[in-house]
Amino acid sequence: MNPILENALERGLDRRRFLQNMLFCAGSVPAASWLTACGTSSPARGVSGVMDPEFRSQFADIGPLQAANADGIQLPEGFSSRVVAVNRQPPIASNPGYLWHTDPDGGACFRTDDGGWIYVSNAEVRDASVALSREAAELLGGFRGGVGALRFDADGNLVDAYAIQTGTTTNCSGGATPWGTWINGEEIRDGFMFECSPLRDGGEAVRLDRFGRKAHEMVAVDADGRAIYHTEDVTGDDRFYRTIFSEAAWPNGSRPDMDQGILQVLQVPAGLEAARAGPTPVNWLNAVDDGTPQPEVYLEESTIFAGNEGVYYLNGFVFFTTKSDDNIWALDLSAGTIESIYNPADGVIGSPVDESEPALAGVDNITMTLDGEMLVVEDGGDMRCMVLLPDRTTIPLLRLPGSPDVTEVTGVAIAPTGDRLYVSSQRAGLQGTPAAFGLGGVTYEITLPFRVRVNLPLAQPMPSAG
């Protein structure tokens, strides 16, 4: 059992309530503060696993969304926004040769050694690979997907913009690594995973073949456990995966030898209904990893997690979302169990301060703070980014302009300063003007009136370029 959870149970706390509080850290006494106390030495959060009863998430006190601002965005009072990049336009006027990509999707932030940061964004630009094999589609012409980057100085000024990966297709989401690179994947049936540097001239992207050929979504790295978790969303029979490494292949404090990974798929023998009721044991099965697309070689005994999208690792737990049923799951890596810790069937409300807000729907990409506060963006919901609260209600952080029937909110990431947030509208123009695939996309920066705690990796070049 995870030692933090074991401590909570010894103190008489209910397991389900503890996990909800850990994830939705926004109440007056959130258990998520125990997590960071065990892993960091923040004087504001207590030490030695002792809960700080004075901690209260500042998200708990934000008010309802206000009328749309000049960017067409609805924000709580005290929040502000600016447009930082628009599809097919140069983010930096002095560099007119680089145009921001269309269809922006998954994103992340990295620290830079000058006190600034980089925001990376995938281009989920679609082509014939959604209907043909990847190899056949490539013969028809070059792929237009990839990854772009926006670099900010220490004062938050946008100072550079450039591509960090090209020649790939339908790049959906990914994950930042502790060693300062960006792992991202192609969301097609036979897609590949890639790794690239956030830096300009950080080296060539490399293909990662030990992650299976599948419709890749998001990535979460557990360096202590020598495992990289990744999601899949394409067929409705999607599975949840990890790639594991031996100690020899992944020495402490280093980057793993990506060629030595072993692909595994999750099995919940008792089924998902059991996991919705409480902690349920899991098994990891070695998946077929011979270059055949995963939908053609699914293990019958593995468990279907239809539409699994976002995934995040935090202190011995892996959280992931399934859009088909809007559940959020927690894997307790020490105990080897899974359970649903957010299920809309249990009854939820959209906002504790605005009864007109619908409940969270279309759970997609996620990010988290060191205090366990989770931000979730909607695909097919109500164009919002939400924070989840301890009682399983939700409170909106923002609503982007545009119709959820056309576009979605993507790329949620927090800057290392803790007071800036990045999101994109994938298939829309300014003010939410609808756009088709390959013709839309706007990336926004949201400034918060407070700071949250994050600890982001320092951007590094690829090993071949270092």
Among 43-47, 126-130, 202-206, 370-374, whose mean pLDDT is lowest? 43-47
At 16 the pLDDT is: 57
Q: Which helix (H) or strand (E) element contains residue 36?
A: helix 32-39
Chain centroid to Cα 73, Å, comes to 22
What are the pLDDT digits (tens) for 418-429? Answer: 999 999 999 999
Distance CA 317, CA 314 (A): 5
Average pLDDT over residues 153-165: 98
Average pLDDT over residues 354-360: 92
User: In this structure, what are the phi and psi dihedrals at residue 285, rounded to the nearest 5 degrees?
Assistant: -110, 140
Helices (H), 229-280: 272-277
Tokens of 466: 């270092």
Residue 159 pLDDT greater than 50, yes or no = yes
At 152 the pLDDT is: 98
User: What does pLDDT average to over the chain?
Assistant: 89
At 429 the pLDDT is: 96
Q: What are 313's strand-pairing partners?
A: 318
Average pLDDT over residues 179-197: 97
Residue at 361: amino acid letter: A
The model carries a pTM of 0.91
Q: Alpha-carbon Rg of the chain, whole angstroms?
A: 21
Distance CA 138, CA 122 (A): 19
What are the pLDDT digits (tens) for 287-314? Answer: 999 999 999 999 999 999 999 999 999 9
Above pLDDT 90, what percent of the chain? 77
3-state secondary structure 364-420: EEEEECCCCEEEEEECCCCCEEEEECCCCCEEEEEECCCCCCCCCEEEEEECCCCCE
* pLDDT bracket for residue 464 (50, 70, 90): confident
What are the pLDDT digits (tens) for 320-330? Answer: 999 999 999 99
* pLDDT bracket for residue 4 (50, 70, 90): low
Q: What are 399's strand-pairing partners?
A: 74, 384
Distance CA 32, CA 51 (A): 9
Residue 272 pLDDT greater than 90, yes or no = yes
At 2 the pLDDT is: 62
Tokens of 278: 């409480």
Distances (CA, A) of 184 to 16, 154, 171, 219: 32, 26, 7, 7
Q: Which helix (H) or strand (E) element contains residue 149?
A: strand 146-152
Average pLDDT over residues 202-230: 97
Residue 53 pLDDT greater than 60, yes or no = no
